[in-house]
Amino acid sequence: MRLRTVLGIGIGKFSVLVGGGKGLLKNGPQTCRWRLQGRRQYSFLPDDVKSPRAVVNPDISKIRNIGIMAHIDAGKTTTTERMLYYSGYTRALGDVDDGDTVTDFMVQERERGITIQSAAVTFDWKKHRINLIDTPGHVDFTLEVERALRVLDGAVAVFDASAGVEAQTLTVWRQAEKHHVPCICFLNKMDKPGASLHFSIESIKKKLKANPVLLQIPIGSGKSFTGLIDLITNQQMTWRVKSRAEDGRVFETKSLSQSDDPELLQDAMEARAALIEQLQEAVRRVTLARKGVPVLCGSSLRNKGVQPLLDAITAYLPAPNERHHDLVRWYQDDLCALAFKVVHDKQRGPLVFVRIYSGTMKPQSAVLNINRNNTERMSRLLLPFADQHVEIPSLTAGNIALCVGLKQTVTGDTIVSSKASAVAAVRRAQKEKEGERKRGGEQASLVLAGVEVPEPVFFCSIEPPTMSRQADLENALTCLQREDPSLKVRVDSDSGQTILCGMGELHIEILHDRIRREYGIETHLGPLQVAYRETILQSMATTDTLDRTVGERRHMVTVSVAVCPIMDSSSSSLTSCEITYDEEVEEQLSPDVRDAVENGVNSSYLQGPLLGYPVQGVSTMIQSVSMEPGTSLAMLSACVSRCMLKALRQAGGQVLEPVMSLEVTVGEEHLSSVLGDLAQRRGAIRDIQSRHDSKVLLATAPLAEMMGYSTALRTLTSGNATFSLQLDIYEAMNPQHQNALLNKMAGLA
């Protein structure tokens, strides 16, 4: 039978009948049984399924804003589902493979069994409020993880214990490091035959360069994995689950040592309690300082180890007031919040997720968006519970909320209560930072750092079914862009076509699907193309003169520019272009003329001379500008642009192509065919590692050669391989491949 996850709406009571050593827990269609065997039984599931309205609103020290992050398929969603179940917020265990989980509520997520957008849920666990964000593992949705980490205080990194650290684990770990987010590691899938505690711990040390603090060891392995020993409390926990149908709510704990002398036992217990407290405090300090990461194990799918993980979240991860957010302290008790995600709701319009850093948020109030310098009215305030939201009267610092009514706010914006409170915060900041105020930094210093948006590597044209739907398509794309800053949309100046730029094949495919389902527009996508870049190989100086008479007016201008390459091939981030001036020229030019010159240079950077791709890694020096009186600024810009094109052409154009790093996990028997295929894709093998009976192949390959790789790999290995692909670097193409590309683009090949 397919179980459905129902939230706490109109729910009847569980009835618990205990008799003759047997328990029976009834819950509508589900019935769970357990047997009492004279040992203590723990069940944290309350009698009722709780409504998200019932979430406790504790002191800030008892709030945990955490994210769940991992490589794709490590089990984040399954773990989150168990957390909601054991904390009493769902009445059935959602299953990603059945497509009925709470947090993967998008149709595409349920169909594909993957997380695409990070979902937020709020629940409580032992008097703590946990605001949890389940983030996607697929590399195409990395920005979702980054956005979530920006506003979290702690994270749980979930591992497949048979695979240890995988490619995307490394990426998300680095993101957590960047935002100084303390982490706990959860070694999931301990029930898999290849699961290994030792292997996983070693890979955490070696690949993440982290210091694992092992808090539990598993009892049994693979199919015989039954529970854990808690190394701090010295207790063993075993889950009496024989089949998948049993839900693991019940597990037993027994003390490892017993004594007959009650007095001695009492003394020992007290001493032990003091020791444990000290130890726990030490583990906590180490975790918060990111000097070590607590490691726990379990199997979410088999319902083992999730309750101790929840305990560890409350014990070791920081409360919001234990994290140092430098920029917000100037607001003191005034409202300061960061918008970290926007979703579009058909009925309610844009819903903005915010993290409140200070002060209190209330519905029916006006707030100031510092980034946009405008005042907006928030109509309602909601508590997120996946796609179900609960209206609340107010929310205090340290929490995550959903705002209705903010129409202009986008991801990365800072929201405060009023202009007056922003000015007061500036004053406080200035007082504190007296003497070291940065140039023009007043406003900027109050804006919380936004989120870095990665460069899209793929693009394709998108067309509505008929021109009459063009406006609808534009509206859909505007909404989708507000939700997803990694989607870029532009209009091709030559063809007039609308172009989508995204992070990968899956990203574009999902967007296409969402436009169809959510906005009812059947669009046509052009072939997926690689986002190349252009640069130059050598320095070049050129002069150009424009002499044109328009009507009565003669426009005459002569400019000289020098371009030179400034390529930094050591990083994947694109080296932006620069504009500099000869000293004497700089002094002569008025601000208007400078703007016109820079417009001309920048427009030439947008479309390179070879194939019309954006130019990067070029520094331009303006050597001279001489204009006859009466020449317009538009003509000046046009002349600069033309001169730049000439200079870039003469400097020898070079195409840069995105090169991806690739990790393929494949059974030994298919290794040679995967290697052979990669050689044909201009792949370069960096390393081949052994992992149990599989091989892990680390390689780089140009993105242009990796189109449709998932289908090719599935065919080559009969579906027995997984891979992940992410941008490594933009690299100069060799002359042979560049010529082939130029011919192809010119329609000659």
Ligand X SMILES: Nc1nc2c(ncn2[C@@H]2O[C@H](COP(=O)(O)OP(=O)(O)OP(=O)(O)O)[C@@H](O)[C@H]2O)c(=O)[nH]1
CA 410 from centroid of its chain's CA atoms: 16
Task: Please list every residue from 54 through 73 that binds ligand X, using CB under 6 A.
Answer: 70, 72-73
- By CB under 6 A, is residue 323 in contact with ligand X? no
- By CB under 6 A, is residue 263 in contact with ligand X? no
The minimum distance between CB 82 and ligand X, in angstroms, equals 9
Contacts within 8 Å (CB) and 24+ apart, 446-450: 446/327, 446/330, 446/370, 446/414, 446/416, 446/422, 447/327, 447/370, 447/371, 447/414, 448/325, 448/327, 448/328, 448/336, 448/338, 448/357, 448/414, 449/150, 449/327, 450/371, 450/411, 450/412, 450/413
* Region near ligand X per CB under 6 A, out of 296-304, 409-417, 426-434, 474-482: 296-304
DSSP alpha helices (H): ranges in 349-456? 419-432, 441-446
The minimum distance between CB 94 and ligand X, in angstroms, equals 9
The minimum distance between CB 117 and ligand X, in angstroms, equals 10
Q: Could you tell me which residues come within 8 angstroms of residue 611 by beta carbon, excluding any fewer than 6 positions away?
A: 532, 534, 655, 741, 742, 745
The minimum distance between CB 285 and ligand X, in angstroms, equals 29
Q: Compute the distance between CA of residue 744 and CA of residue 234 in angstroms, rounded to an integer.
A: 67
- By CB under 6 A, is residue 248 in contact with ligand X? no
The minimum distance between CB 103 and ligand X, in angstroms, equals 8
The minimum distance between CB 219 and ligand X, in angstroms, equals 15
Contact 469, 521 (CB under 8 A): yes
- By CB under 6 A, is residue 115 in contact with ligand X? yes
- By CB under 6 A, is residue 386 in contact with ligand X? no
- By CB under 6 A, is residue 212 in contact with ligand X? no
Q: Compute the distance between CA of residue 528 and CA of residue 458 in angstroms, rounded to an integer.
A: 7
- By CB under 6 A, is residue 392 in contact with ligand X? no
- By CB under 6 A, is residue 191 in contact with ligand X? yes
- By CB under 6 A, is residue 8 in contact with ligand X? no
Strand ranges inside 28-176, DSSP E = 30-35, 41-42, 63-70, 119-125, 128-134, 154-160
The minimum distance between CB 51 and ligand X, in angstroms, equals 25
Joined tokens for residue 146: 């980054």
Q: Compute the distance between CA of residue 112 and CA of residue 106 in angstroms, rounded to an integer.
A: 10
Q: Which residues pair with 123 in a beta bridge?
A: 130
Q: Which of 128, 150, 189, 249 binds ligand X (CB under 6 A)?
A: 189
CA 687 from centroid of its chain's CA atoms: 27
- By CB under 6 A, is residue 136 in contact with ligand X? yes
Closer Cβ to ligand X, 188 or 233, answer by number: 188
Closer Cβ to ligand X, 299 or 314, answer by number: 299
Q: Could you tell me which residues come within 8 angstroms of residue 719 by beta carbon, excluding any fewer than 6 positions away?
A: none
Joined tokens for residue 401: 């909320």
Closer Cβ to ligand X, 188 or 314, answer by number: 188
The minimum distance between CB 84 and ligand X, in angstroms, equals 13
Instruction: Count the site residues for ligand X by CB under 6 A.
Output: 24
Contact 12, 28 (CB under 8 A): yes
- By CB under 6 A, is residue 78 in contact with ligand X? yes
Strand ranges inside 572-637, DSSP E = 578-581, 618-627
Closer Cβ to ligand X, 217 or 606, answer by number: 217
Closer Cβ to ligand X, 114 or 132, answer by number: 114
Joined tokens for residue 265: 């036992």
* Region near ligand X per CB under 6 A, out of 119-127, 300-308, 564-572, 658-666: 300-308
Q: Compute the distance between CA of residue 516 and CA of residue 511 in angstroms, rounded to an integer.
A: 9
* Region near ligand X per CB under 6 A, out of 74-82, 426-434, 502-510, 589-597: 74-82
- By CB under 6 A, is residue 724 in contact with ligand X? no
Contact 678, 586 (CB under 8 A): no
- By CB under 6 A, is residue 300 in contact with ligand X? yes
Binding flags for ligand X, 327-356, as an x/- string (CB under 6 A):
------------------------------
* Region near ligand X per CB under 6 A, out of 84-92, 109-117, 211-219, 543-551: 109-117
- By CB under 6 A, is residue 163 in contact with ligand X? no
Eight-class DSSP state of 615: B
- By CB under 6 A, is residue 114 in contact with ligand X? yes
- By CB under 6 A, is residue 128 in contact with ligand X? no
Contact 667, 194 (CB under 8 A): no
Task: Please list every residue from 83 through 102 that binds ligand X, using CB under 6 A.
Answer: 96-97
- Applying CB under 6 A, the residues found at the interface with ligand X are 70, 72-78, 96-97, 113-115, 136-138, 188-189, 191-192, 299-302
